Amino acid sequence: MDYLSKAKSLVAQMTLEEKATILSGDGWWRTHAVGRIGIPSMSVSDGPHGLRKVEGGGLQTSVPATCFPTASAIASSWDTKLIQEIGIALAEECQANDVHILLGPGINMKRSPLGGRNFEYFSEDPVLAGKMAAAYIQGVQSLGVGTSLKHYAANNQEFERMVTSSNLDERTLREVYLPAFEIAVKEAQPWSVMAAYNPVNHVFATENIWLLQDILRAQWGFSGFVVSDWGAVHDGVAGVKAGLSLEMPGSGNYHQNKVLRAVQDKEIPLSKLDEVIVPLLAVILQAKASHQINATFDAEHHDILARRAAAESIVLLKNAGDLLPLNLDEPKTVAVIGAFAKTPRYQGSGSSQVNPIRISTAYDELRKLAGENVVLSYAAGFTGDGSTTDGLIDAAVQQAEAADVAILFAGLPGNYESEGIDRLSLDLPAGHNRLIESVLSVQPNLAVVLMNGSAVALPWVDRVPAIVEAWLGGQAGGGAMADVLTGRVNPSGKLSETFPVRLEDTPCYPEFPARNREANYGEGIFIGYRHYDARKLEPLFPFGFGLSYTTFSYSNLRVTPAVVTETENISIELTVKNIGKVAGKEVVQLYVREERPTVVRPEKELKAFAKVDLGPDEEKRVMFELHARDFAYYDMLRHGWVVEPGDFEILVGASSRDLRLRQTIEIQRNAPKSLPLTRDSLLKEFKNHPKGKAFYPELVAGFGMGDPDEVDLAVRAFLEDMPIYKICAFSEGRFTEERLLEILTKAH
């Protein structure tokens, strides 16, 4: 069915009052129906890592649903096929619960590891985040359930998030904070995009014409509707003017009456009102037509998928002496320590909090896998808030000392990471660190398993032989941890964010979160690994890092062609081989570096990745294709993407700091490109401009410089950096405005 044409037809039949009404929600989770002409209501529910459908308003307890790993976890799988499977499962649960749109995925960049909502977001890198989001959207929408890509845009802190302006230049926005949205929109076309709470450069996201119209629709070709984050509308009339289709939750008659008056007073043309209603109504019609009556889902199958996803997301950070995996065929005593082993932290707090169908624990799952020769002991070690006591420490030390090996579960309690609040530090709770130090003093064979939603500091990292990052692994995370610890699953996760040594090393320290309602992104394009590369800082664990129980080799890099024009595509091939004794998966990462940039650029940027499954002694050929945009930077004067001619290095490897293969290519320009000359152009910009250079001598004379080669260096620099419009004043009017305009017209 042509839903767009049908929507236009229905909009033509609606009264003004009906149009104003449908622009605001019917309560918290539904759109308004217009029964008179057969427009149905549509249901939306929170996600993104599980369905959170509440029957009433607000944030009440939701229906039971599968709790999958959170975004920071699943992004560490670097597996787009896996997240697409999760999307399909989420859609099945939405269909079974009469939900038409799932509010996710969240793809905001991790500007600081302190961001309270980082567990809901994929990465510090826009390519990884964008590709994971696109696959998620494709999975969900393949079963006729919509998604809502959020939070658009530059929504990077929780403290005073509704009023704090994200202030950043256009290049930073275009290169770091928008590309993930762009990738997801262009590759997957989400049914909706959610406008964020915050202003961007002092214009609220829900009222930002540049973001919602010029970029999202005109440049990226978005065809769905824009919905506000819950409570993000400040001016309903300004929202309609900017292209906002749906205010959530509904505000009754409050904004409806304002919109009505604005239309009646000709402040909003009726055509504009129709323009924002049509895409909303088209999605409502599509959602209702795609809805499956009496749909069901297989909870057991979804739990198995959740366990596999959690296992694929686990990152082995350290494994000195091959302490892991545990050999359960040999007699041994294993001390399981830490309250998280029995009462796991498996998801974050806030609007994404799922009511899980079931929960597995690491202790129970280890006990299931342990043979008759393996004895498990347990000590809690800390309380629910992360604190500890002498008694809890003593009991844990006693169990650890009597065991052959200790597995200690630690991380961040729920009140450390939540929507609405940012973290205060990178530190684990003092009780967790004290427990680890105490156990380490009596048991050298110690593996620490972390449960947290974003990067943490690890002061004992050099002394603990094995460290496993399990993230917030969802309802089946306990089983996934047991699978990895015992070798049933070979860990293949890679960090989707950098782990810094200390907070002072992070990109926006000490100005995060901003506390004066002005978040100034002074670090610019240098967030995440880009920052650590530029500052020559050694991270605790770099972006893209993760170990395996096997070893992989990289060889035979082939990049063709070696010399290209800026519009040609480039093919990259290489061989990856499993040279170990067990099957495993490797995440191959490709970065690009400009060797002699004319503008400040990151040392390297991720441009492609692939996850490869290899048996022992098996090798595969991995292929990538790069395009002009992969070599471009955003030029704020041209307001566009620019590829400078020159040499670029193709870097391939196992992490951002483990790049094993490299080859240089040359990019040649098809035709010279120059900035357009304007009144604000500098005198020196005329010198080498293809059309402007003919007028350079006349302009030099007009400024009274004489022969520039004979002028004092400081004077020449002073005049050459002068905006050209000043020539009229410097010449005391002898060089006329008319002549300047004539030159600019001819040189355009």
What SS3 string covers 97-148?
CCCCEEECCECCCCCCCCCCCHHHECCCCHHHHHHHHHHHHHHHHCCCCEEE
C-alpha to C-alpha distance for 707 and 370, rounded to whole angstroms:
87
C-alpha to C-alpha distance for 454 and 527, rounded to whole angstroms:
15
Q: Which of 255-264, 378-387, 536-545, 717-726 has the lowest mean pLDDT?
A: 717-726
Which helix (DSSP H) or strand (DSSP E) does residue 84 occupy? helix 80-96
CB 113 within 8 A of CB 506: yes
- What residue ranges define each of the domains in the chain, with the CATH number in brackets? 1-32+145-290 (3.20.20.300), 299-534 (3.40.50.1700), 552-668 (2.60.40.10), 683-747 (no CATH)
What is the reported pLDDT for 93?
Answer: 98
Predicted confidence (pLDDT) at residue 14 exceeds the cutoff of 90: yes
Percent above pLDDT 70 for the chain: 98
Angle at 625 between CA 620 and CA 627, to 5 degrees: 165
Tell me if residue 709 is catalytic.
Answer: no
Q: Which residue has the tokens 């307890």?
A: 61
Predicted confidence (pLDDT) at residue 527 exceeds the cutoff of 70: yes
What is the reported pLDDT for 673?
Answer: 66
> pLDDT tens digits, residue range 650-709?
999 999 999 999 999 999 977 656 778 888 888 888 887 888 888 888 888 888 766 666
Q: What's the per-residue H, E or C state across 221-270?
A: CCCCEEEECCCCCCCHHHHHHHCCCEECCCCCCHHHHHHHHHHHCCCCCH
Mean of pLDDT over the chain: 94
C-alpha to C-alpha distance for 631 and 410, rounded to whole angstroms:
42
Predicted confidence (pLDDT) at residue 239 exceeds the cutoff of 90: yes
C-alpha to C-alpha distance for 472 and 120, rounded to whole angstroms:
10
> pLDDT tens digits, residue range 129-186?
999 999 999 999 999 999 999 999 999 999 999 999 999 999 999 999 999 999 999 9
C-alpha to C-alpha distance for 530 and 509, rounded to whole angstroms:
15
Helix (H, G, I), strand (E, B) or coil at 223: coil
CB 656 within 8 A of CB 553: no
Burial class (CB in 10 A: 0-12, 13-18, 19+), 329: exposed
Helix (H, G, I), strand (E, B) or coil at 352: coil
CB 179 within 8 A of CB 127: yes
Give, as one character, the DSSP assignment of residue 31: P
Strand partners, 488: none
> pLDDT tens digits, residue range 245-274?
999 999 999 999 999 999 999 999 999 999
Are β-strands 146-152 and 199-200 bridged in parallel, bridged antiparallel, or unpaired?
A: unpaired
Which of 229, 422, 483, 630 is catalytic? The answer is 229
* DSSP code string of 157-188: --TTTTT-EEE--HHHIIIIISHHHHHHHHHH
C-alpha to C-alpha distance for 381 and 485, rounded to whole angstroms:
20
What is the reported pLDDT for 732?
Answer: 84
Give, as one character, the DSSP assignment of residue 311: H
Closest CA to 576 of 624, 613, 621, 623: 621
> pLDDT tens digits, residue range 455-480?
999 999 999 999 999 999 999 999 99
Helix (H, G, I), strand (E, B) or coil at 275: helix
C-alpha to C-alpha distance for 473 and 158, rounded to whole angstroms:
23
Predicted confidence (pLDDT) at residue 26 exceeds the cutoff of 80: yes
Q: In what order do the strands lie in the sheet with 165-167?
A: 203-204, 199-200, 165-167, 518-520
What is the reported pLDDT for 61?
Answer: 80
CB 412 within 8 A of CB 456: yes
What is the reported pLDDT for 473?
Answer: 98
Reported as a pLDDT band with limits 50, 70 and 90, residue 322 is very high
What is the reported pLDDT for 518?
Answer: 97
Q: Which residue has the tokens 């002073």?
A: 718
> pLDDT tens digits, residue range 36-80?
999 999 999 999 999 999 876 655 688 999 999 999 999 999 999
Region 630-638: mean pLDDT is 94
CB 370 within 8 A of CB 328: yes
Closest CA to 544 of 585, 507, 498: 498
Predicted confidence (pLDDT) at residue 377 exceeds the cutoff of 70: yes
What is the reported pLDDT for 706?
Answer: 64
